[in-house]
Amino acid sequence: MRTVYLDHAATTPVRPEVIDVMVNVLTEAFGNPSSGHQFGRPVRKLIEQARQQTAQAINARPQEVFFTSGGTEADNLAILGAARANANRGKHLITNTIEHHAVLDAFSHLKREGFEVTVLPVDEYGFVSIETFLKALREDTVLVSIMHANNEIGTINPIAEIGCICREQGILFHTDAVQSVGKIPVDVQALNVDLLTLTGHKIYGPKGVGALYVRGGVQIAPLVHGGGQEKAIRPGTENVTGIVALGKALEVAVEELEEESKRLAGLRDNLIQGVMDGIPNSRLNGHPTERLPHNVNFSFPGLDGQMLIQQLERKGIAASAGSACTSDSVEPSHVLRGIGLERGTALGSVRLSLGKSTTEEDIDYVIAQLKESVALLQR
Ligand SMILES: *Cc1c(COP(=O)(O)O)cnc(C)c1O
């Protein structure tokens, strides 16, 4: 039986070029990068090279890159760190309903510390409206966090525009770019962001490593305290293997971005067309064009998304009902509820996320299997 992995938004396999550099670090570069001797110095060099690669991938300067344990930590470091370090300037923060839980839960935590948080609604596509955003701004607003592209429905937000408004008003602006980095161009200058989150395992790097971009001059407070690594913003002996892997993964992802995103967008559009034409009453969630090249999310009325996932699994297809983090729970996805879907419709949804291994034949197979499985479950 064919196996088709369509859950690249949850995680990706580590690519061979990245495995090579990881094996090299593990076998040849065990020294502590903070050691001034012949064992430490080359390792420091490897980290600084990875910082350069990371900076280059997002058009930042190397000294603006701080390595973390992944997207979740980078989101927390950005939000908790910036809010706490700038609390003297104001205690009002803004985000929106369909962020990843790493962002939403960081803001909930800040509420308990005495911050006020405005959680903006989004429209039917998942866009934050500029008009609603402008109305939410206050004298004491210090930090705004709006994701670049949504992990469940793929919608790409007008980040540059929101960033421009924040810049004019002297408000710090964070974006979670975990899903967009390596898939569409991400340029911290063009996007007008002060803080940006990325992670390794969604771009064919390993799990457990990520980075936070912090624009020069922006103050953030650390979450953990210890040695002086990462300018004491993120102390602790560096995850050298992960950091070197992240640098490599970003370098290759950016190299092949143009060609691969075009290929994926073509496959995505075939999948959308095949399903919309072939399955009556199916609905595409997220914006039809302003969406990630590898993301598709459908609702099928009158069926349970979890059961559809199980049915697809029997055909060798791995997909996700809502986000991976909530797929054990029977609660409908907060993102699908956030774009206004009824509880039942939200529960009847699947996300299919494409990647490097996805072929045209896979897409034809998935369309055929989806038609059959949806018809079976709707009966
Ligand atoms: C996966 C993901 C995260 C979390 O990143 P981890 O490295 O798994 O902690 C954060 N935000 C978004 C949008 C994601 O898709």
pLDDT in tens, 301-326: 889 999 999 999 999 999 998 644 45
What percent of the chain shows pLDDT beyond 70? 98
Q: What's residue 331's pLDDT?
A: 87
Tens digit of each residue's pLDDT (9 = 90 or more) over 168-210: 999 999 999 999 999 999 999 999 999 999 999 999 999 999 9
Q: What's residue 314's pLDDT?
A: 97
Closest residue to atom 4 of ligand 1, CA basis: 71
Please write down the HEC assignment for all residues of the chain.
CCCEECECCCCCCCCHHHHHHHHHHHHHCCCCCCCCCCCCHHHHHHHHHHHHHHHHHHCCCHHHEEEECCHHHHHHHHHHHHHHHCHHHCCEEEEECCCCHHHHHHHHHHHHCCCEEEEECCCCCCCCCHHHHHHHCCCCEEEEECCCECCCCCEECCHHHHHHHHHHHCCEEEEECCCCCCCCCCCCCCCCCCEEEEECCCCCCCCCCEEEEECCCCCCCCCCCCCCHHHHCCCCCCCHHHHHHHHHHHHHHHHHHHHHHHHHHHHHHHHHHHHHHHCCCCEECCCCCCECCCEEEEECCCCCHHHHHHHHHHCCEECECCCHHHCCCCCCCHHHHHCCCCHHHHHCEEEEECCCCCCHHHHHHHHHHHHHHHHHHHC
Ligand 1 in contact with 175 (CB < 6 A)?
Answer: no
Q: What's residue 268's pLDDT?
A: 98
Q: State the catalytic residues.
A: 325
Tens digit of each residue's pLDDT (9 = 90 or more) over 55-92: 999 999 999 999 999 999 999 999 999 999 999 999 99
Ligand 1 atom nearest 200 alpha carbon: 7
Ligand 1 atom nearest 75 alpha carbon: 10
Q: Does the pLDDT at position 356 exceed 60?
A: yes
Ligand 1 atom nearest 147 alpha carbon: 13
Return d(Cα 200, Cα 221) in angstroms, integer: 23
Probe residue for ligand 1, chosen from 77, 100, 174, 292 as the CB with the greatest number of ligand atoms within 8 Å: 100
Listed range (135-139, 162-166, 256-260, 344-348) with the worst mean pLDDT: 344-348
Q: Does the pLDDT at position 262 exceed 70?
A: yes
Q: What's residue 349's pLDDT?
A: 96
Q: So where are the chain's domains? A: 4-11+256-378, 16-252
Probe residue for ligand 1, chosen from 98, 107, 179 as the CB with the greatest number of ligand atoms within 8 Å: 179
Taking domain 16-252, whether its CATH number is 3.40.50.300 is answered by no
Supply φ then ψ for residue 119, to 5 degrees: -105, 105
Q: Flag whether the pTM goes above 0.95.
A: yes
Q: Does the pLDDT at position 285 exceed 80?
A: yes
Q: What's residue 323's pLDDT?
A: 46
Q: How much distance in Å is there from the Cα of 378 to the middle of ligand 1? A: 33
Probe residue for ligand 1, chosen from 7, 152, 176, 201 as the CB with the greatest number of ligand atoms within 8 Å: 176
Ligand 1 in contact with 176 (CB < 6 A)?
Answer: yes
What percent of the chain shows pLDDT beyond 90? 96
Ligand 1 in contact with 178 (CB < 6 A)?
Answer: yes
Chain mean pLDDT for the chain: 96
Would you give the distance in Å from CA 290 to the centre of its chain? Answer: 16
Place of tokens 């995680």: 11
Ligand 1 in contact with 86 (CB < 6 A)?
Answer: no
Listed range (94-108, 301-315, 321-335, 347-361) with the worst mean pLDDT: 321-335
Closest residue to atom 5 of ligand 1, CA basis: 71
Ligand 1 in contact with 335 (CB < 6 A)?
Answer: no
Q: Does the pLDDT at position 125 exceed 70?
A: yes
Joined together, the tokens standing for residue 23 give 């094996």
CATH number listed for the domain at residues 4-11+256-378: 3.90.1150.10
